[in-house]
Every structure is written in C-alpha cells, then in structure tokens.
Structure 1
Amino acid sequence: MADRVLVRCPVCRREHSYTAPVYPCGCGAPIALPLLSSAAAIQVRHRTWDGSWISVRCPKCGRVDEWPQPELGCGCGTTLRVPVARGRTGVAAPSPSADRPPAEPPLPEPAPAVPASASRVPVPRPAFRPVTIRTAHDAKLAAGQYLRWLGFDGIRVAERTPTSGVDVRGPSVIAHVDPSTSPVGVRDVETLWLNGLNDSAVAVCFALAGYVRDARARADELRLPLFVLDLTGTPRAVNQAAEQLIRTPR
C-alpha cells in the first residue's frame, strides 16, 4: 500500500499531504516507493540524472527498474523532492549507471498506412538538415527546423520560454521544447494540449531526456505527438501520433 506523509516546504513552511506514487512492474505487480517521513523534503534547484531516478526492486519477481524520484510542487513555486527510505525492502542501492537515462520503452507498432483512396499524394521531402544542439536555444531551433521540414509555414522560435510553455509557434502549430536532463511529465503534456485547443493548432512536444511513462500514456490518450531530440538535432518519433504527423501531407 502506498505511503502517505506530510511534507513541509522549507521555503514557505506550507505543509502538504503526499502519497507515494505506485508504478507497474513488468510482471504486473504494483511497486510503491517507501517514503522516509522522518526526513525533511529537499528543494530541487538543479536536476541531474542521478538525482531524478531511483532503482527499485520488485518484491514479487526481483526485477530492478529505474523510476522517477517522488516530487511535488508547492504553491510558492518550489519543487520538493520527498526522501525515499533506501534501507527498506524494495529500494536498491544506487547503481553506477544511475547518471545515465533509463532505456526507452519499445516504440509502439506503426499506425496503419494511409488508404490508397486518399485524394492527395504526398510530395517526397528533401533530406532533413538538423541543427546541432549545444544550448537550450539550439534545441528550440532544431524543433522549429523540423516543423518547417514537416510542411508547417510561418514558424517562429521564442528567445525565452513564455509562461505558456510554447517555445515554437506557427499559424497552425505550436510546440513545447524541453532541453533539460529530466524527462517531461504529465503536467507539461496536458498544458501543451490545452494550449493547442485554445489556439486551434496542432500541439507537438520535443524533449532531450524523453518522457515519464505516465506522460507518454497521457499523450497517447490525447493523441499528442511526442519526439525525442538527440544532440545532432534529429527528432525521433516516440508515439503513434508523432508517426502519423510525419506521414500527413501538408
């Protein structure tokens, strides 16, 4: 059963009731992270792979998987990390590879081909020319270049990410670009989708570090295209909606 603890923000001293997330093991057993209620929450200032993931052993099958560290957002704007009891059953010691991102889940099966009766025949695109990513702004430029390559016109790239989270915008498309070393969460996916509805535009998400499983599942429900950028600036589709976006002629 998932632990529930009181978490006090070290900045504004506000208390929050927090329940540990439960993750599904590959064998089907639920895995709840054991929280350390006696320790104070930690303010997250800088993210690293080592600090964002934790190794947990399934008590049923013994399999060890990497899962996101439990975090919550305070109303004052502080992100809090809730300590996990590493000595309790199920939590493995940090592995030497903890500073590397977890393996990506297998890609979904390709969507069915466009029916032959479609009236428009897509024009073959030229080879995509990526933008090498060295800075956060380079990641936005790479996403904008890719959307132009897909056929979207009037693409504009924001110098700074606005409060809406929309980094790239065109008359019929918007995109959020996450250049951080932490996977994109559910909140970012849902916010982007709502912005797309509000603007009557296609919403697309790009990330360097991928997506948490819940975010991928939510994006599949919302049919929101997800892409992962490598450091060469080349996007890779990670869900069926992204594959469909690539195949749709414009």
Structure 2
Amino acid sequence: MPRSLPLRCPACRREHLYAAQSYPCACGAPVAPALDPGAHAVAVPHRIWEEEWLTLCCAACGRRSQWPRPELGCPCGTVLRVPVAEEDPARPPAAAPARAARPAFQPVTIRTARDAVTAAALYLRWLGYRGIRRADQRPPSGIGLAARGLVAQVDPTVRPACPRDVECLWLTAMTESAGCAYFSLAGYDPEARTRADALGVPLFVLDLTGTPQPVNDHADALAHRGR
C-alpha cells in the first residue's frame, strides 16, 4: 500500500497530496495506516466518536492499538477523511521476536496505598519497562506512573474505576504517544471495562498479595508478551 496518496476535495475540487503519518508503538516501532488508492476522500460533516479511530497492528510486536483516523484540512474549510485499507481482524499479527523466559513475578503484600503503587511498579518492571517514575501529570484519581513508552494509573481506593478514569488515562497516553495500563484495587464498573475494551486499555486488578490480575484481553496480551 502507498505511503502517500493524491486526494481531491469533493467541495472545491482542489488537489492535495497526503502523506501517511506514523505513530510510535509502545515497543518503539513506527505504526502507520495503509492508504487505499482505490477510494476517494470524503468530507466529514460531523464528528462521531467511534468513527474517529482506527485499530492498527504493529508489524514488529503484533500489538493492536487505536490511533486517530487520518484527516486532511482543505483551505476551503472542508475536512477530508483520508481513505485507508481496513485491517482484516482475522489476519494473525506478525510474529514477535523470541524472548527469553521471564522469571516468576515476586509480589509484595498490599497493606497501604504506597504498597499498591510499589506492586504496580514492580510488575511493570517485570514486564520489561524501564525508567519507572511518578508521572509528571497527576491523574484525576489515584497515582500516575510513567516508564519509557508507557503511562500507568494506580487506583488504591475502594471505588471501582469508572469510564472517565479509563478515558483520561487513554487520552494522556495518546498525548505522550505511549501505551498505557490501569491498576485498580477495587476493580472496574461494567461501563469502564467496555470502554477499556474499545480503546485498547489493559486493565489489571491488584489483589492483596500484590499480584496484578488481568481482567480484559488487552491485559492478558500485555502480561503474556511483556514490553
């Protein structure tokens, strides 16, 4: 598929050349949508959240993440939706390079909020993330952690996480061009889990032994492959 595509504005008939923008996967490899030379650009009359995002597969690690659907602004004021070749969800992702077996995770018993943060940080390190620190941007609830290529939120409260918590973490990760993960002591309400599944956010529950337990497919995949 081409990395650049000639486009014609349907409103003013002006010609444009669009070059596909790449995004950094959490593994560090660039990910870019495949442009569809057989389709035409269409005007965006109004915004619909579900139509704003594409699920793209990283060819290096096989990670599937959501990224903004490409658009182009014409000088006439029309916003053009760039045609892309949709991925086949049945197509298996590229095989990731072989990794050495990880040792078993060594948890810490959770008695305090600080213990919950420590458990999440240790787990991220076990997954292969480095440079773990307190995040510069404080989340609306809980405590933020950051590592190379990832932002995480640790919620040690007794309130299950809500959809807004998940969306705020995801938006922070998008701003930083990073992956993300959510760790909660009290779990997640059903709408939060649904939103996380749609946005590709891994959700973990911290049990009192200090071992994060995956609660959705994205978390299962992260726990299995690591960074």
Both proteins in one fold, TM over 0.5: yes
Confirm or deny: 8 A CA contact 2:133 2:147 kept in the other structure.
yes
1:143-183 Cα shifts (integer Å, max 9, x gaps) = 0000000001111146x992565521112111111111110
Q: Does 1:129 align with 2:101?
A: no
Q: Does 1:204 align with 2:204?
A: no
Q: 5 Å matches for 1:26-175?
A: 118=95, 120-157=97-134, 162-163=138-139, 167-175=144-152
1:245 pairs with one of 208, 222, 226: 222
Q: Does 1:182 align with 2:152?
A: no
Confirm or deny: 8 A CA contact 1:141 1:157 kept in the other structure.
no
* Distance in 1, Cα, partners of 2:226 & 2:173: 20
* Distance in 2, Cα, partners of 1:211 & 1:121: 33
Which segments of 5 or more consecutive residues in structure 2 lack a partner in the other structure?
1-89
1:193 pairs with one of 170, 173, 192: 170
* Distance in 1, Cα, partners of 2:131 & 2:186: 27
SS at match of 2:154: strand
Inter-CA distance 149–242: structure 2 relative to 1 (3 Å threshold): same
Confirm or deny: 8 A CA contact 1:134 1:231 kept in the other structure.
yes
> 1:230 corresponds to which letter in structure 2?
D
Deviation at 1:247, TM superposition (A): 2.3
> 1:235 corresponds to which letter in structure 2?
P
SS at match of 2:191: helix
Give the alignment's TM-score, normalised by structure 1. Answer: 0.50
Confirm or deny: 8 A CA contact 2:170 2:201 kept in the other structure.
yes
> 1:237 corresponds to which letter in structure 2?
P
1:167-202 Cα shifts (integer Å, max 9, x gaps) = 211121111111111100011000000000011111
**What residue is the counterpart of 2:51 in the other structure?**
none
Inter-CA distance 209–164: structure 2 relative to 1 (3 Å threshold): closer
Q: How many residues align?
A: 136
> 1:135 corresponds to which letter in structure 2?
T
* Distance in 2, Cα, partners of 1:227 & 1:138: 15
**What residue is the counterpart of 2:206 in the other structure?**
229
* Distance in 2, Cα, partners of 1:145 & 1:200: 23
SS at match of 1:129: coil
1:27-47 Cα shifts (integer Å, max 9, x gaps) = xxxxxxxxxxxxxxxxxxxxx
SS at match of 1:139: helix
Q: 5 Å matches for 1:8-27?
A: none
> 2:148 corresponds to which letter in structure 1?
P
1:58-88 Cα shifts (integer Å, max 9, x gaps) = xxxxxxxxxxxxxxxxxxxxxxxxxxxxxxx
* Distance in 2, Cα, partners of 1:192 & 1:219: 10
* Distance in 1, Cα, partners of 2:132 & 2:196: 23
* Distance in 2, Cα, partners of 1:229 & 1:161: 22
> 2:138 corresponds to which letter in structure 1?
P
What is the root-mean-square deviation of aligned Cα atoms in Å? 2.3
